[in-house]
């Protein structure tokens, strides 16, 4: 089976791993990628096959293949696709408030193992009225990538961010019942990102998704690679690092602001997770 690698796909600009391709899709054997692939069907029809299912695709369908995902096209009848390929671990992409979009986590921030265990890759359909603005964004991305005018990276990334924002919104409204678990986990991730400074109890989190404790813990670990408590700690530490870099607040004040009522405990956890004391971290950032 062919594996499409990052080094080959982004070899022309390794520091900016984002590509867009318009193509008439031929019948293609099973293959995988080391990066995320967003497939938007512009016209025609076909059969898209994964390890789990074969399904017909048509204009307005969107597929998201996670890193390591395996797929093929078994039929292609004038099938015109727009493929957006990117490496989220290396692309200098500002997240901004996308962490507050459950669709973002469900589509792009959940571990590949979650999709393999639940036997699906994200897929949804965009209605005709909503699809036209998406096509405009895709065309703008194509133009920027081809002309490569000054500041093309800036504009290309801006259009890409607009595409992600729109896809995340549409997915929330158009996902199927089979994808509800991912949306529930994504809502929890959103809740943690929004309420990390509060004192949170696991029971308060679980009640939001209507799952048993054991099922929730299993699905959350599959989706994020860690427990809810450890995930919350990571969010708190990321925000503590941000405040250490951008403010003159004392270390104790920052600890309280990100959810620690005990400054000594905050200092211990910061050292354990970040690998240096908060004072050392701030000093190195100011060099």
Q: How many other CB atoms sit within 10 Å of the CB of residue 38?
A: 22
Tell me what the pLDDT averaged over the chain comes to.
90
Instruction: Check whether 183 has a pLDDT greater than 80.
Output: yes
pLDDT at position 177 is 65
The angle, 0 to 180 degrees and rounded to 10, between the axes of the packed helices 213-224 and 180-195 is 80
Can you tell me the distance from the alpha carbon of 31 to that of 68, in angstroms, rounded to the nearest whole number?
A: 9
Where do the domains of the chain lie, and which CATH numbers do they carry? 2-179 (2.60.120.280), 230-285 (1.10.10.60)
pLDDT at position 70 is 93
pLDDT tens for residues 244-275? 999 999 999 999 999 999 999 999 999 999 99
Least confident of 153-157, 181-185, 223-227: 181-185
Can you tell me the distance from the alpha carbon of 240 to that of 249, in angstroms, rounded to the nearest whole number?
A: 11
pLDDT at position 287 is 57
Can you tell me the distance from the alpha carbon of 96 to that of 21, in angstroms, rounded to the nearest whole number?
A: 26
- Band (pLDDT 50/70/90 cuts) for residue 237 is very high
Instruction: Check whether 101 has a pLDDT greater than 80.
Output: no
pLDDT at position 113 is 83
Model's pTM, two decimal places?
Answer: 0.83
The DSSP string of the chain is -EEE-HHHHTTT-TTS-EEEEEEEPPPEEEEEESSEEEEEEEEEEEEEEESS-EEEEETTEEEEE-TT-EEEEEEEEEEEEEEEEE-TTTS----GGGGG-HHHIIIIIS-HHHHHHHT---EEE--HHHHHHHHHHHHHHHHHHHH--TTHHHHHHHHHHHHHHHHHHHHHHH--GGGHHHHHHHHHHHHHHHHTTS---HHHHHTTTT--HHHHHHHHHHHHSS-HHHHHHHHHHHHHHHHHHH----HHHHHHHTT-S-HHHHHHHHHHHHSS-HHHHHHHHT-
- For residues 20 and 75, the answer to whether their CB atoms sit within 8 Å is no
pLDDT tens for residues 52-72? 999 999 999 999 999 999 999
- Band (pLDDT 50/70/90 cuts) for residue 136 is very high
- Band (pLDDT 50/70/90 cuts) for residue 84 is very high
Placement of tokens 């990571």 in the chain: 234
Q: Which residues pair with 96 in a beta bridge?
A: none
Least confident of 6-10, 38-42, 268-272: 6-10
């Amino acid at each position: 089976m062919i594996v499409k690698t990052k080094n080959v796909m982004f070899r022309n600009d390794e520091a900016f791993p984002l590509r867009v391709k318009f193509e008439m899709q031929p019948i293609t054997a099973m293959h995988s990628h080391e990066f995320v692939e967003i497939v938007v069907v512009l016209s025609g029809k076909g059969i898209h096959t994964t390890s789990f299912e074969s399904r017909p695709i048509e204009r307005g369908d969107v597929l998201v293949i996670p890193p390591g995902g395996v797929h093929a096209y078994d039929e292609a009848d004038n099938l015109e696709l727009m493929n957006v390929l990117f490496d989220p671990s290396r692309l200098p992409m500002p997240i901004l408030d996308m962490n507050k979009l459950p669709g973002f986590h469900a589509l792009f921030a959940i571990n590949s193992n979650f999709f393999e265990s639940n036997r699906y890759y994200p897929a949804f359909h965009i209605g005709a009225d909503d699809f036209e603005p998406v096509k405009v964004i895709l065309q703008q991305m194509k133009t920027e990538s081809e002309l490569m005018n000054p500041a093309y990276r800036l504009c290309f990334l801006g259009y890409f961010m607009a595409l992600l924002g729109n896809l995340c919104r549409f997915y929330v409204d158009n996902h199927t019942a089979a994808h509800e678990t991912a949306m529930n986990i994504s809502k929890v991730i959103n809740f943690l990102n929004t309420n990390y400074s509060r004192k949170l109890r696991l029971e308060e989190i679980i009640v939001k998704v209507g799952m048993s404790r054991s099922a929730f813990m299993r699905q959350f670990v599959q989706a994020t690679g860690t427990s809810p408590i450890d995930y919350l700690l990571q969010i708190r530490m990321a925000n503590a690092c941000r405040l250490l870099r951008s403010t003159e607040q004392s270390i104790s004040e920052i600890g309280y602001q990100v959810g620690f009522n005990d400054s000594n405990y905050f200092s211990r956890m910061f050292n354990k997770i970040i690998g240096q004391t908060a004072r050392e971290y701030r000093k190195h950032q100011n060099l």
